[in-house]
Amino acid sequence: MAGYSSTSPGAWRANTGKTLRYRILGAILALFLLIFTIRQFQAHSPRHYTLSNQQLSEDLLQKFPQKRKNVAVASTFGYHFDVYMTVAWTLQRVMKEGKVQVYTPGPFYFDFQRIIDSYNLYDGTYKDYNTLVQDVTGVSDEGGIDLIVLGTCEVDMRHWHEKLLEAWDARDAAHKFQIVCIVHNVRDEAWQPMIQEWSRRDAIRLLPISQHVGKTFMKKFEDIARSTDLSIKSAGYEYIPIDAHIPIIDIPDLPDLPATNRLFSNAVIQGSFDSSRRDYDRIFADLNRSLHIEPESWGYLPLGDGPSFVQDTSIDRPPFKLHLVGSGWLNIPTELKELIVFHTNLNYTDFYQLMSGMDACIPAFLAADDNNFKYQASSSIAMCMETNVPILAVRELREAYGHIDDDKITINRPAVMSEFQAIRALRTGDASSFLASDPSSSGITLGSHPRIRQAVEDFMRDGWVHTKDGFDSCKRRTWKENERVITKILQDRA
C-alpha cells in the first residue's frame, strides 16, 4: 500500500489513530495545493500552442533519432494548402535539426498567407513548384532533400512520379529519399498505379487527413497484396505505412461563447454548393417540412396565403438561420429564403470569425452514400473543430473521424432523428412530439422503443452548448498525436 511501511496487519491497525488522521489531512492539503497550482498554471499559460506544452517522450526521441533532416513540402495543386501547411507547422515544431522548404504553384488564395504569418505556421521561404526536381537531383554536402511531402498526391504524383522515381534510382543507397503522400480520396484511382514502384522501393507512406481514409487504404492494400500478378504481389503493398495527420491549426483568439441563456439560432453547412457532395435537397426538404408544421418554433410566421415565411417580430427571441459557407450555386425553396444565408468568397480571417459564432455544424453528408464515412475525408469536420463549432454527429461519423469522437465537441444526434428534428428539439427544449410520432405508420410510436427513447433523452440532457476549454483539450490531444506521427516519419519508423 503506497505511503505506508511494510508491516504486519496488527502493527498497521495500531497506527490508525491520530497518525492516520494527520496523514489524511495532509493528503487533502497536498491535493488542494496541487489543484491550485495546476489552475494557476492553466490561467497563466500562453494561449498559443507550442511543443513545450506537449512534450514528446524524450526516451522515444533518443531511442529513434531523427533521420530525415531536409524536408520538402510540395504541391502542384492550387488548393489544399491549409492541409499541407499544417503539416509544415507540425514539422517545424518537432524537428530538432534540419529545415523545411515549401514548394507551391503561387500565392495562397483567400489571404491564407496572413494566417500563416499571424499564427507562425511556417517561417521559411517559398519556392516555385517547378524547381522541386532540380533541387532533388542536386544532392548537396548535407545529402539533399531526403523527405518529400506531397500536398495532394492524387494530383502531385501524376505530375512528378517519373522524374522523382528517376531521381530516386540515381541516388546511392545512403542518400535515398522518402515520399509522404497526403491523400484525400480512396476512390480517386488515376494515380494509384504509380504507388507500385514506390512501394517496391520501400519509399512511400500515406498520410490521409482522417483515420477512416487510412483504414480503407489499408484494407485496399491488403487486398492488392494477394494479387496473382507477381509484379504487383512482389511490390509489398501490405507494408506501406499509413498514418493520419489532422489539419487543425491553433487559432488563439476564438471567442468563448456564453454557456447559458442561449437559444439555438445558427447552424452552418461548410463546403461546395454541390448536391452531389452535400445532401442539400434532403436538408432543405427536412427544414421546410418542420417549418410548415410549427413555424413558431423557428421564429417565423406564414406570409399571407403564399409559400413564404417571415420573421416573427412579436417574440423576443432570435429566429433560426441556416448558414451556407462555400462556393457554387444552389436552388433554394421559396419558403426558406428568409432562413438561409449564403457566405461566399470569404478570406480565412472572415471565415474564422463567422464560423466561431455558429451554434452547430451540420456535416450534411449524402444519406444514400458512405463516401465520407469510408473513402473520402471531409475537411469540413476539421474546420468545425478548428473553429470551436460543435458538430451534429451520428455515431458512424464519430467512429470514422476518430479525432472528434469526444462528447466535449460533438452533439450526439441519434440516427433515428433527422438533422432538423434534432435541432428543433434542442431549440425548443422539447422532444415529446418526436417521440410521439409514428413515421412508419405502423401504429408503433418512436418513443415506445426503449432504446430510442433513452437515446433521445440522453441527447436532450447532454444539450448542444460546449465550452472552449473542451475544444482546446481535444485540439491539444490532436496536435500531440500529429506530432507523434510526424516524429515517427522523420525517424523512418513504420
Q: For residue range 91-118, what is the model confidence (pLDDT) as tens digits?
A: 999 999 999 999 999 999 999 999 999 9
Residue 454 domain-assigned (yes or no): yes
* 219 and 70 belong to one structural domain: yes
Confidence of residue 5 (pLDDT cuts 50, 70, 90): very low
pLDDT at 19: 40
- Cell numbers found for residue 56: 514528446
Backbone angles phi, psi at 226, to 5 degrees: -90, 10
CATH number at residue 313: 3.40.50
Per DSSP, the chain holds a count of helices (H) and strands (E) of 19, 14
Q: What is the pLDDT of residues 40-85, one digit of tens each?
A: 434 333 335 554 334 555 555 667 899 999 999 999 999 999 999 9
* 74 and 132 belong to one structural domain: yes
Residue 134 domain-assigned (yes or no): yes
* 351 and 378 belong to one structural domain: yes
Residue 15 domain-assigned (yes or no): no
Sign of the CA dihedral running 188, 189, 195, 197: negative
* 294 and 420 belong to one structural domain: yes
Confidence of residue 21 (pLDDT cuts 50, 70, 90): very low
Residue 221 domain-assigned (yes or no): yes
pLDDT at 303: 86
pLDDT at 56: 55
Q: What is the pLDDT of residues 275-288, one digit of tens each?
A: 999 999 999 999 99
* 280 and 419 belong to one structural domain: yes
* 365 and 407 belong to one structural domain: yes
Residue 11 domain-assigned (yes or no): no
Residue 9 domain-assigned (yes or no): no
Q: What is the average pLDDT score of the chain?
A: 89
Confidence of residue 258 (pLDDT cuts 50, 70, 90): confident
* 219 and 292 belong to one structural domain: no
* 285 and 401 belong to one structural domain: yes
Helix (H, G, I), strand (E, B) or coil at 302: strand
Q: What is the pLDDT of residues 142-165, one digit of tens each?
A: 679 999 999 999 999 999 999 999
Report how many domains make up the chain.
Answer: 2
Residue with cell string 495532394: 152
Residue 38 domain-assigned (yes or no): no
pLDDT at 7: 31
Residues whose CB is less than 8 angstroms from the CB of residue 264 and which lie 6 or more positions away in sequence, other chains included: 320, 359, 360, 423, 426, 427, 464
Confidence of residue 268 (pLDDT cuts 50, 70, 90): very high
Residues whose CB is less than 8 angstroms from the CB of residue 474 and which lie 6 or more positions away in sequence, other chains included: 385, 403, 404, 406, 408, 409
* 381 and 482 belong to one structural domain: no
Provide the CA 187 distance to its chain's centre, in angstroms: 20
Lowest-pLDDT choice from 7-11, 127-131, 375-379: 7-11
Could you tell me which of 245, 211, 257, 435 has the C-alpha nearest to residue 360? 257
pLDDT at 63: 75
Which of 343 and 261 is assigned the larger pLDDT? 343
The yes-or-no verdict on residue 20 having pLDDT over 90 is: no
* 349 and 202 belong to one structural domain: no
CATH number at residue 229: 3.40.50.2000
pLDDT at 141: 60
Residue 365 domain-assigned (yes or no): yes
* 242 and 112 belong to one structural domain: yes
* 199 and 292 belong to one structural domain: no
pLDDT at 22: 44
Lowest-pLDDT choice from 188-192, 221-225, 313-317: 313-317
Range of the domain at 230: 65-249+478-491
pLDDT at 58: 56
Q: State the average pLDDT over residues 24-44.
A: 45
